[in-house]
């Protein structure tokens, strides 16, 4: 696997990969000197900023999302070495199709940013049904939050592992999962969302040792706080209480220790003063900035 030093932009080689987004593409010239990343949930928020950040550092970026117009607008703004793939991460075959296309186009996959996520799509409390009779069973809840936030991460990890085994000259790569501080400190308004983020946190900790030892794949989970993205109600962003600020971000304290290689895979985030809701850029800076020796911590 080529060096993934993000502090020094890659010198892109001349390629003929056609236009980005909509429009025709010529047969690409595969270059193993330029790393390739797949970013899910890339049409807005954290995912879009991750895509921009990686692309600005010389990466080839495959942007994945459900909204075609937003995705195509993003890759058009990025220019060369960016592609958009419309897909549903909760559908295994839909994700698999993206991985196949990216590998066929660019010849390798160095990183997966498993970022796609949504909040609770239905209330699990059913407070408006408290007067219903015992035989009036509630309708099946919409658990697409679980399907996207958890199953989507598991599917992506399985697929990334498969394709990263075929990277040359060296197999392996990076997987970074966007978790949430809600996986540590659950939010009563979003219990399903909090549960999915707790699940991905433990999933990453569970698979990290084996992926590192067997396949040279380093997986990490980033736990941002309240981030100003389209899935977060503006009222929540504007009303960040002091007690929430103390837990809204573990990034500032964990990042230096990740850079030094001292984080462990059993360490919980510390409460750090954070006087505002985060913006996507706060999360971007840590997503692939980990050293080869680190795998598994939640940051």
Residues 10 and 92: their CA atoms lie apart, in Å, by 32
Catalytic hit among 85, 155, 190, 193 = 193
Neighbours of 11 (CB within 10 A): 8
Residue of 33, 38, 153, 134 whose CA lies nearest to 92: 153
Choosing from 60, 85, 155, 197, which is the catalytic residue?
197
Has 85 been annotated as catalytic? no
Q: In Å, what is the CA distance from 275 to each residue of 183, 194, 251?
A: 21, 22, 14
The three-point CA angle 24-28-31 to 5° equals 150
What CA–CA distance (Å, rounded) separates 176 from 178?
Answer: 7
Give yes or no for a contact between 48 and 84, defined as CB atoms under 8 angstroms apart. Answer: no
Q: Please report, to the nearest 10 degrees, the dihedral formed by the alpha carbons of residues 210, 211, 213, 215 taken in order.
A: 140
Q: Examine the residue annotation and report whether 197 is marked as an active-site residue of this protein.
A: yes
Active site residues: 193, 197
């Amino acid at each position: 696997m080529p060096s993934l030093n993000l502090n020094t932009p890659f010198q892109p080689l001349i390629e003929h990969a056609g236009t980005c987004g909509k429009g025709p593409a010529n047969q690409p010239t595969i270059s193993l000197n330029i790393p390739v990343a797949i970013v899910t949930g890339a049409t807005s928020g954290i995912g879009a900023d991750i895509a921009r950040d990686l692309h600005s550092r010389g990466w080839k970026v495959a942007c994945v999302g459900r909204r075609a117009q937003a995705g195509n607008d993003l890759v058009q703004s990025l220019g060369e070495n960016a592609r958009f793939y419309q897909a549903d991460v909760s559908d295994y075959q839909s994700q698999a199709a993206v991985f196949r296309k990216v590998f066929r186009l660019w010849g390798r996959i160095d990183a997966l940013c498993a970022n796609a996520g949504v909040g609770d799509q239905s209330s699990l409390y059913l407070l408006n049904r408290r007067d219903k009779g015992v035989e009036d069973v509630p309708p099946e809840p919409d658990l697409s939050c679980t399907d996207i936030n958890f199953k989507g991460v598991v599917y992506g990890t399985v697929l990334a592992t498969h394709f990263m085994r075929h990277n040359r000259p060296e197999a392996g790569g990076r997987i970074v999962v966007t978790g949430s501080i809600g996986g540590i400190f659950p939010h009563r308004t979003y219990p399903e969302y909090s549960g999915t983020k707790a699940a991905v946190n433990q999933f990453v900790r569970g698979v990290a040792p084996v992926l590192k030892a067997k396949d040279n794949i380093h997986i990490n989970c980033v736990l941002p706080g309240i981030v100003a993205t389209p899935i977060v109600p503006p009222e929540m962003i504007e009303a960040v209480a002091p007690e929430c600020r103390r837990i809204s971000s573990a990034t500032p304290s964990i990042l230096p220790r990740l850079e030094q290689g001292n984080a462990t895979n059993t360490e919980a985030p510390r409460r750090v003063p954070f006087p505002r809701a985060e913006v996507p850029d706060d999360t971007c800076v840590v997503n692939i900035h980990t050293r080869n020796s680190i795998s598994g911590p939640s940051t």
